Structure 1
Amino acid sequence: MKILIIHGPNLNLLGKREPGIYGSDTLGDLDSKIRSLSDELGMEAEVLQSNSEGAIVDAIQSRKYDLLIINPAAYTHTSIAIRDAIAAVGKPAIEVHISNIYKRENFRQHSYISGVATGQISGLGAEGYLLAVRAAKKILSE
């Protein structure tokens, strides 16, 4: 079982960027937790962070995974290309957001991704990624 975790734009600034919203864990801290839990659950995790929409689409289209966990970040609200890539590959996808996008500015309350995602986890901080890894195991085991 292989999962691909994609962190979208500005998530490379975790731990420095608005810690009141995004927490104090760095992206390296988060990736270590993801890899550790994935190993514990017997899954291989590949992790990618990109600020580039095209690189994210390319990674989704690679099909070198069984399930996608994605935090599209700002692209959640703007990227039809990422949405279409997820739909095109036809693999399960879990959308994750550190903050609760539905309690934020109006423009952040719409997700182009949710309509093609298997599920969405929003507002539970970095823990949301770990919940997504556990859900991935369940989905791939069924």
Structure 2
Amino acid sequence: MDPAPATPQATVPNVVGLAYADAASRLAAQGFSVARTEEVSAKAAGTVLRANPGAGALARRGSQVTVTVAKADDTMTVVPKIRDLYVRDARAAVRAAGLALEPMYNGAGYDEGGTYSYCRVWEFTPAEGARVKKGTVIDITRVFGCG
């Protein structure tokens, strides 16, 4: 009885840094099946962070290569641009980003149509564009144009 022929091997290509779809295509072209796992990363969502077995390894065609792909951190958000917005509009932008506005600017007078709802935001912290945890309170430190 003849021994079963050995399954041919292939070199695992380097897929780190590629978009998942491109990585999966390259791996499939070499005869590998692909398994996907995800982890939170600062890299763009969908970017391959690592592969196992890694680039350059010899593996049986048909064997599985597991790629770990970046995903966005859904507990974080970005502080929106609110400078020069009316407080009432800033409140809406802040809420839409999953953040909160300093309590002072949620009270009477700052409500829709209230005396201060037409004030414009001048300074605030944390700064526009900062990555912060959802629920962070935006502290408006200076307004202008009230009245």
Q: TM-score range by the shorter chain?
A: under 0.3
**Structure with the larger RCO, 1 or 2 (CA within 8 Å, 6+ apart):** 1
TM-score, length-normalised on structure 2? Answer: 0.19
Larger Rg, first or second structure (1 or 2)? 2
- Greater per-residue strand proportion: 2
- Greater per-residue helix proportion: 1
